[in-house]
């Protein structure tokens, strides 16, 4: 009877061991139970970035607007003109790099500069400083710029509809590799400058361009 009881106990222990192994065997070795394995879930978080458009507004001063409105017709519309450094006592200045018309006879300026002054006194002082610094004499009897036949000088110029107005001078010269034509417009309180790289021949043609495209349109 003892043997039978021992056999029964052994069978019972074997059965319990088998059940325990089947239940916990994988876990005991760190493998996990394949029937209850969990697949790791991956959560992707996307952080949205909101870009706010930046609008840059460039405002011009009333003086610049007044100067642009006073430009000669050949520069007044559809022309790239931008504010420039104001010197010589000017309130504001603009630089233009193209004209709105073409003349096959005379090459246009490479650029033009225009300065606006507060009053006639400031305008006169600026032009007189220019010719004084360059040692350019006044010769009204010689008329306007004639660089191929006359010495460099400055003189009053005639508008198409009037006699010369006080202080309305023109001059021309070559400086820093550029042919330059300058003139005073007392009606708009501006001084204009045309520039084109070149020599005396270039200067002569540039002055003719000024006569045709600017002076004749006054």
- For the beta sheet containing 154-156, the strands, ordered from the edge strand earlier in sequence to the opposite edge, are 81-84, 92-96, 111-116, 190-197, 178-185, 169-175, 154-156
Residue 103 has pLDDT above 80, yes or no: yes
Strands 111-116 and 154-156: unpaired
Residue 86 has pLDDT above 70, yes or no: yes
Which pLDDT does position 39 carry in this prediction?
A: 45
Residue 186 makes CB contacts below 8 A (sequence gap 6+) with: 120, 123, 165, 166, 167, 168
Exposed e or buried b per residue across 170-192, where buried means at least 16 C-beta atoms within 10 angstroms of its C-beta: bbbbbeeebbbbbbbbbebbbbb
Domain 62-217 fold is Protein Transport Mog1p; Chain A (3.40.1000)
pLDDT tens digits, residue range 116-164?
Answer: 999 999 999 999 999 999 999 999 999 999 999 999 999 999 998 888 9
DSSP 150: S
Domain ranges of the chain: 62-217
Higher-scoring residue by pLDDT: 92, 2: 92
At 118, phi and psi to the nearest 5?
-70, -35
Higher-scoring residue by pLDDT: 33, 151: 151
């Amino acid at each position: 009877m003892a043997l039978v009881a021992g056999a029964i106990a052994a069978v019972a222990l074997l059965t319990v061991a088998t059940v325990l192994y089947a239940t916990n065997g994988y876990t005991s070795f760190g493998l996990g139970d394949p029937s209850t394995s969990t697949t790791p879930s991956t959560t992707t978080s996307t952080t949205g970035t909101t870009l706010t458009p930046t609008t840059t507004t460039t405002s011009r001063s009333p003086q610049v607007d007044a100067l642009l409105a006073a430009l000669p017709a050949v520069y007044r519309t559809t022309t790239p003109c931008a504010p420039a450094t104001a010197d010589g006592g000017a309130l504001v200045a603009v630089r233009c790099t193209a004209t709105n018309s073409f003349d096959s006879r005379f090459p246009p300026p490479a650029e033009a500069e225009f300065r606006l002054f507060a009053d006639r006194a400031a305008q006169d002082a600026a032009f007189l400083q220019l010719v004084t610094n360059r040692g350019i004499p006044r010769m009204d009897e010689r008329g306007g710029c004639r660089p191929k036949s006359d010495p460099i000088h400055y003189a009053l110029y005639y508008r198409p509809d009037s006699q010369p107005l006080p202080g309305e001078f023109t001059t021309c010269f070559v400086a820093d590799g550029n042919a330059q034509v300058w003139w005073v417009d007392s009606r708009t309180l501006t001084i204009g400058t045309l520039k084109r790289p070149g020599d005396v021949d270039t200067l002569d043609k540039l002055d003719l361009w000024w006569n045709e495209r600017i002076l004749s349109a006054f």
